[in-house]
Amino acid sequence: MDVEALRTFVAVARNGQFQAAADELGISQQAVSKRIAALERHVEATLLVRAARGSRLSPDGQVLLPHAKKVLAAVEQAEQAVRPGSRPLRIDVLNRRISPAQAVYRFYRSHPEMNLDTVTLSKENAAQAAEAVLEGSVDASFRALPADRVPAGLSAERLLDSPMELLVGPGHPLADAPRVRPADLVGHRIWIPGISPGTEWAEFYQEMSEVFGLSIDALGPHFGDEALMDALADSASLATLVGSGDRYLWPRNHDLRRIPLHDPTPVYPHALLFRSGDLHPVLTALRDHLRATGPRVPPDVWVPDWADR
């Protein structure tokens, strides 16, 4: 059944005249007549009785009218449900402690009127997250994805470079250094539990370890961030790497130290993946916000060869 024909039928029933309905709908009177005739053929019934002063509903038209109004209301609800800005922007931040989640949280704090929802596709790699964006499970995702791996239909904008920092306990030999070079980490064990094989962050740490000759591993069970903080506080040799925008909390007596890396500064290249041409207003506002407020990145950055420079 043609929705526009139903809309025209309801307009004629409301106005009582074909010309008045045509004026309301912004079409010609001839178009109104054609739509009504097509609808009557479809339902195989006369819906309107023409008279000198206009038109009135036939008995069949009176039966159809309330159903036609319900159909048009349902169509309006369906259109409203998918209209840009009418539903929350659903965005994957990968992990709620790392810099993408913190950046989205700051955006929401400064724009509380924005309608958004965050999820963590922490077990999906970049290709799987990109597929989730393509199929509409989420509207956007923060990932480190080379340009040649971005699927058709998606755009990738590198909006959140995250400089890496060393995190150590007070007994570590580098604990009092104001900053350290990657070369200074040679021979120290860097433990990053929870690295999932086949993920982009596994690729990042693998290339970083090869380029700088570092010992980066994920050996042993991962009992959570709190257990990692406990282990660092108790160790004189253990270290880990975190992003400068990542948010980790620990007891004050742990006395953990975050030490910037430099010469060069390894940077994790978070890109925002989204469907090309997506007009959701919250997505547009978020991209503008990230461009304006992204972390300052020093000139001596290092990113993997596969990252989009």
Share of the chain above pLDDT 90, in %: 73
Q: State phi, psi for 123 to the nearest 5 degrees.
A: -100, -5
- What average pLDDT does range 234-251 have in this prediction? 94
Residue in this structure with the two tokens 């470079």, named with its chain if needed = 161
Burial class (CB in 10 A: 0-12, 13-18, 19+), 243: buried
Q: Please give the structure tokens belonging to residue 28.
A: 């010609």
Contact between 65 and 13 under an 8 Å Cβ cutoff? The reply is yes
For 305, phi then psi, to 5°, come to -60, -30
**Residue 82 — pLDDT band, cuts 50, 70, 90?**
low
Instruction: Write the pLDDT tens digit of every residue in 4-59.
Output: 999 999 999 999 999 999 999 999 999 999 999 999 999 999 999 988 778 889 99
Average pLDDT, the chain: 91
More confident of the two residues 216 and 293: 216
Q: How far apart are CA 294 and CA 303, in angstroms?
A: 17
Cis-peptide, bond into residue 193, ω within 30° of zero: no
pLDDT at 241 over 60: yes
Note the pLDDT tens digit of each residue in 258-290.
Answer: 999 999 999 999 999 999 988 899 999 999 999
Q: Is the pLDDT of residue 226 over 60?
A: yes
Residues 148-189 have pLDDT tens digits of 889 999 999 999 999 999 999 999 999 999 999 999 999 999
Residue 198: the pLDDT is 85
Q: What is the pTM of this model?
A: 0.70
Q: Check whether 249 has a pLDDT greater than 70.
A: yes
Strand partners, 48: 57
85 pLDDT above the threshold of 70: no
Q: Identify the bridge partners of residue 168 per DSSP, sorted by sequence position.
A: 239, 257
Residue 51 is predicted with a pLDDT of 80
Can you say how many angstroms the Cα of residue 170 is from the centroid of all Cα atoms in its chain? 38
* Per-residue confidence (pLDDT) for residue 76, from 0 to 100: 80
